[in-house]
Each structure stands twice: as structure tokens, then as C-alpha cells.
Amino acid sequence: MLIPISIQAEESNFAIIGFNDSIINKIDYFFSTQPTKKNIMWAPKIKGKSKYTFSIPRNAYFISKNHADASDLFYLSEQIDSGLKFQSNKSKNIDIVISENNSNLILSQNILSNINAGLILKNKEKISFGVILNKDFIISKNALGNFGVEQVEDKYIAFNAKFVKLSNNQNSEFYGNINHEFKSNHLNVGISNTWFDIANQFDFTLGFHEQGKKVESEIYATFGDENIKFDVGLNQIKNNSNMNMFFNLKFENILNKENFGSNVIITSKESILGLKKLRLKSFRKKNLDILWKKHMNYN
């Protein structure tokens, strides 16, 4: 879910303006009330975080607005890599994961300092309820992490940790996750690397995971856009004649509501561990034009 957020200030010619509605209205208001200011800073927010900031010049903005065309203004605005930063975020989320023998329903909300709390309903052999608590944290300007706990009835507390790092050239990302149920031998570890936009058609992922002291590999391709994604590939790979084909179908922001995420994953896999990954693809410089076209609209 891509949401415009704030116009920020760092120098005398910039100002801070927080908003959830039209960017154009807020920029107009700023320049009309601050006639001496030469630029304004806009940091697009993606799920409560930002990475790049636009420095939009006053004169170029009004010229582009008079022509009702913001395409040239995109190139005239400086694009600054400010590194990953948290922004104000009071979002709620509903996440549904469905497989043949295992399904999850998670309701969560950001409560404070990037801490998320929620309820989980699991349907595996029997229906059980539980609670979750996790926290996002920024590792570096190109890396993000999340760790938390999950307590489901009749189960020990489970610890979950995830991290993702965008490569320096922003053409790929490296992901890792750990899941451990206390007072048990259940330790699951996974790593993967995803290369973006292969032949401008799909993303390609190679991964390995250990579950129950059994190490398996998987490869898959991802097709689609920001709202619908389709994964197809092979896992449980042991040799050329022993592998399993799988698919994942992912729907994101189904309700198209600001500050309310609604996501569904349907998978053919037996295990649903590791399906909800941290991703940084949308934070790349290459994706700024998508944000720009979505929100800089004079109509």
C-alpha cells in the first residue's frame, strides 16, 4: 500500500507539513503561505516507512501545474536517498494465509514506536487462537528487520525474526528469517536472494531453509504488480527427479483503504512458514516514478 505522507523541513527553504489527503493541495497551501520559500520536501511513505525524498522547486512546480503535466517536474525535482526512516503510522492490517491443510487469520495494529500487536486464528488440525507482538527496526539505510513473539493456545511461545537488505545497486535483496518455539526442538531457518526485473518481466528467487533438521532448497519466479503477485517454482529439491512444484497467489491492499492493509495469500505449499516476507523492492529509486505518477496528479 503506497501512501503519501509528509513534506519535511531541514533547511530554511523547506517546511514540515503532515497530511493524508491531496499532495497538490498541501503543496499549494505551503507555497501560498510561504512566498519566500524556493523548495519543498516530499517523502512518500510506504507502509509507515520512507527512503527517498523529493526536493520540489517552486518555479518548476507552478509551470508544470499550469500545463497540467507533472512528468517534467519529476526530473526537475532532486531525488535524495535519505535512507530508510520510520514515519507516523497508525495502520491496521488483516492478513489471511490459506493452504490445503493450514490457514491463518491475523488482525494487527501499530500501537507505538513501530510496535505491532494483534490476534491470530490458526486452523491446523483444529482451530486455535493466540496473540502476537512484534517490532520493526531499521538496521541500516538499506536494511530492515522485525522480531516478535507469538503465543497460541496449547503451544509454547514462538519467537520470530526477519530481516531484509537491499543490495547497493538496488537490483536484488537478501532475506532471512528464524522461527523457534521455546521448550521444543522446533527451529526453522531460511535465507533467500531475490533478483528484480529479470528481462523486465519477473523477479527470480533462490532460497534455502532448514525445517526439522531437514535442509531444502527452492527456486521460483514472481510475476505481477504491486497489488497481485503470482509465484511459481520448485521446492523440496533433492535431485533432478525429486522435487515439488508449487505456486503462491498474493493479493495486497484488496480493500484499497488508506491506513488499512488487507492481504491474502493462497499457496499450494504444505507449510506456510516464511510466506509473509519483508520486502524492500518498492523503496528503490527505480520505483519513484510509480509513486510520482500515482500521487502527483493535477486533475
Q: What was the pLDDT predicted at 254?
A: 87
What confidence tens digit (pLDDT) does each residue in 245-271 have? 999 999 998 887 777 889 999 999 887
Q: Which CATH number fits domain 92-277: 2.60.40.3080, 2.40.50.140, 2.70.150.10, 2.40.160.40?
A: 2.40.160.40
Query: d(Cα 122, Cα 130) in Å, to the nearest integer?
Result: 8
For CA atoms 196, 177, 275, 279, the dihedral sign is negative
Q: Where in the chain is the domain with CATH 2.40.160.40?
A: 92-277
Q: What was the pLDDT predicted at 46?
A: 85
Q: Return the C-alpha cell found at 122.
A: 490458526
Q: Return the C-alpha cell found at 72.
A: 517534467
Enumerate residues 6+ apart whose C-beta is below 8 A from 184. 156
Q: Return the C-alpha cell found at 299.
A: 486533475
Q: What is the pTM of this model?
A: 0.86
Using a 10 angstrom Cβ sphere, with 0-12 exposed, 13-18 middle and 19 or more buried, the burial of residue 142 is buried
Q: What pLDDT tens digit does each residue of the chain (299 aa) get?
A: 343 434 443 443 444 433 445 788 888 988 999 999 999 998 888 888 899 999 999 999 999 999 999 999 999 999 999 999 988 777 889 999 999 888 899 999 988 878 999 999 998 888 999 999 999 999 999 999 999 999 998 888 999 999 999 999 999 999 999 999 888 877 899 999 999 999 999 999 999 988 777 888 899 999 998 889 999 999 876 656 667 899 999 999 888 777 788 999 999 988 787 788 999 999 999 999 988 988 888 77
Taking 3-state DSSP, the helix, strand and coil percentages for the chain, each rounded to the nearest 5, stand at: 15, 55, 30
Confirm if 195 and 203 have CB atoms less than 8 A apart. Answer: yes
